[in-house]
Structure 1
Amino acid sequence: MAQSKYIRFDWAMKRLLRNKVNFGVLEGLLTTLLGERITIQKLMENSIEDSQDKFSFANMIVTNEKQETFWIEIQNHNEYAYFERTIFDISQCLYNYITSKSNCYKVCKVYSVNIVYFTLGHGTDIVYHGKTEFRGIHNGELLELSPFQKQTFKVNEVSQLYPEYYILKVNDFNRVAKTPLEEWIYYLNTGDVPEGASAPGLEEVKERLKLDRMTKTELDAYYRHLDNIVILRDNIFTEREEGRAEGRAEGRAEGRAEGRVEGRVEGERIKQLEIARNLKKLGLNTEAICQATGLSPQEVESL
């Protein structure tokens, strides 16, 4: 594959997309994913980047076409405990929202968008959506809002009050992009924009995220970032293989140890039974044989 002309999203998210003039890229991704026009109003100060290229995330206040306000968190992690990390980050986001004394009180919905560049869980899809629902344990009935709650909260379902999660498993995409969302997945995976792409935000990618717009210093840092990604993936693969090998070795060792213990136990039992037979031939009663061998009366009687 020819080298891409565009900057990868994971790098752009760390260095470029926090600039307001580049918000169109993030807005395009969110518009495509959520199925409604999204406009970023503010990028929150607690957005983080990691110097070792392990993760970055951005918290932002956005509005839709109805001028409803949402809090969206985009995560780009590369680590084992991803599900747990997602729970922690969204909980922290909610804590900041609840305790804030600013206009964040107006936020009515939280989305967690997770862009995953490694194998996560077991599944064949490339985009997963999760939300909170409550169902009766006896009849499976979905718990719904009362008319008063619908009017008060301005939503129709309980799940709309809770955070929603999107997981984009971009590394698993290996087909021709046919939809706007697949065009975005293709870019997130390869760092290139598919020919004829029409998804919102990808025109901004082609305009603002060109490699030839970067200075030599920026390019050097960018290529170090790509090298770090390769090294990190190799380390994770090596650790997994070493873990499997260690587990197999431990399993074999434990199996041998257990076998030796079981063998000794079985040998002692055979010896006890043989002694009991001999004592029984000598005419000792059952109680005396039990005391001498440790066998039960039923075991002695069956000899």
Structure 2
Amino acid sequence: MARKLISFDWAIKKILRSKANFGILEGFLSELLFTDITILEVLESESNQNREKDKYNRVDIKVIDANQKIIIIEIQYSREMDYLQRILFASAKAITEHLVIGASYANVSKVISINILYFDFGKGDDYIYHGTTNFIGLHNHSELQLSEEQKRLYSSEKIADIYPEYYLIEIRNFNNIAKDTLDEWIYFLKNEQVEDSFTAKGLKQAKAVLDVLKMNDEERLDYEYHQTQLHHEASLYESTYVLGKLEGIEEGMEKGMLMAAKNLKQAGIDNATIASATGLSIEQITQL
């Protein structure tokens, strides 16, 4: 049986920021981006500010690779309706932070935003979504291409290579069947286990480094508390957002019935008939 491993969000907070363990992150990024990634350094990110609100349900890490691309990895447990705007803001902020004052726009950094989501986001039946920027003609529907001069200036082959790109990984949608090496990583992200048959880059090192049994007593207690807080956050969401939404629907239906009853009353319909049609009490109708 595969041993339980430390969750990826905890690993990013405590372990993967160390250069000795870059190979784990490099493996994950290489499998996702279909190219070999070499991490130069971990950059300052919002998670380092340790804001109490996001202490348990959110973590992020920002790295720069050998090609000077900025890669933001964010792990999110709590639902946010404006999440798409937030990752757009984070990308824009990364671009402005890393553009030297007075430098030309040709030096704008390429940003890749990778978002690992442990909640249901949007409507879709896949578990990995990739977003890029392309310009399509309105009349002949052809895609705008870079000129040869622009390719040399930007060191890019196409426009999408210049603009930020986004990956949304919806962990809940994964069916636990690993069909390729990227799926092996998704399996680990969901189940915190690495099967002996897995061969994806970085997973062998992850299995060795992220073994829960290697924690000392203090680390294990800290980790268990972290996991408990995640469950608490999930329960809090269910009891506030979901129930609140249901209560809001019920309140809206009641208001609708009251409005309908008022219109029927103004039309001269008797109270008993209105009560039968709307489900309201005679007392409620009388007070309209």
- Where 1:144 maps in the other structure, the secondary structure is coil
Q: C-alpha distance in 1, partners of 2:89/2:137?
A: 27
Partner residue of 2:74? 75
SS of equivalent to 1:204:
helix
Q: Deviations over 1:60-106 (max 9, x none)?
A: 1102xxxx33111111123313222211211211111124699xx96
Seen in structure 2, the aligned counterparts of structure 1 residues 121 and 217 have a Cα distance that, compared at 3 Å, is same
| Partners of 1:225 and 1:4 in 2: CA distance | 19
Please state whether the residue corresponding to 1:178 is helix, strand or coil: coil
1:235-250 matches, within 5 Å, as 235-250=236-251
Number of equivalences: 261
Q: Does 1:55 align with 2:54?
A: no
Distance 1:240 1:216 in 2: 36
| Residue aligning to 1:39 | 38
Structure 2-normalised TM-score?
0.84
TM-score, normalised via structure 1 length: 0.80
Map of 1:111 onto structure 2: 112
- Whether contact under 8 Å (2:98, 2:109) holds in the other structure is no
Q: 2:234 and 2:26 mapped to 1: Cα distance?
A: 29
Q: Give the CA RMSD over aligned residues.
A: 2.2
1:220 Cα deviation after fit: 0.4
Structure 2 CA distance for partners of 1:100 and 1:223, relative to 1, 3 Å? farther
Match of 2:8 in 1: 9
Change (3 A) 1:106 1:139: closer
- Whether the 8 Å contact between 1:69 and 1:106 is mirrored in structure 2 is no
1:138 & 1:254 partners in 2: Cα distance? Answer: 48
Corresponding residue SS for 2:69: strand
Q: Which runs of 4+ in 1 moved over 4 A?
A: 99-102, 105-108
Q: Please state how far the C-alpha of 1:199 moved relative to its aligned partner.
A: 0.3
Q: Residue 56 of structure 1: SS of its match in structure 2?
A: strand
Q: Which range moved further: 161-170 or 107-116?
A: 107-116
Q: 1:23-58: per-residue Cα shift (whole Å, max 9, x none)?
A: 111101001001111010011123525453121111
Query: Could you say which residue in structure 1 is the equivalent of 2:137?
Result: 136
Match for residue 94 of structure 1?
Answer: 95
User: Kindly tell me: are residues 22 and 84 of structure 1, through their superposed partners in 2, closer, same or farther at Cα, counting changes over 3 Å?
Assistant: same
Match of 1:216 in 2: 217
Q: 2 CA distance for matches of 1:110 and 1:9?
A: 21
Q: In structure 2, what residue type is equivalent to 1:22?
A: N
Determine if contact 2:71/2:111 at 8 Å carries over to the other structure.
yes
Change (3 A) 1:233 1:4: farther
CA–CA separation in structure 2 for the residues paired with 1:225 and 1:153:
43
- Unaligned stretches of 5+ in structure 1? 269-303
Distance 1:243 1:226 in 2: 25
The answer for the alignment partner of 1:169 in structure 2 is 170
Structure 1 vs Structure 2: percent identity of aligned residues? Answer: 33
State which structure, 1 or 2, has the greater radius of gyration over its C-alpha atoms: 1
State the shift of 1:107 in Å: 6.7
* Matches of 2:139 and 2:107, distance apart in 1: 37
- Measure the CA separation in 2 of the matches of 1:226 and 1:3: 19
Equivalent residue letter for 1:30: L
Aligned to 2:27: 28
Provide the rounded CA distance (Å) in 1 between the counterparts of 2:254 and 2:109.
56
| Alpha-carbon distance between aligned partners in 2 of 1:219 and 1:101, rounded to the nearest angstrom | 49
Instruction: Quote the offset at 1:193 in angstroms.
Output: 0.6
**1-structure distance, mates of 2:219, 2:102:** 38
1:122 maps to a residue whose letter is K
Q: Which amino acid aligns with 2:38?
A: T
Matches of residues 199-210 of structure 1 in structure 2 within 5 Å? 199-210=200-211
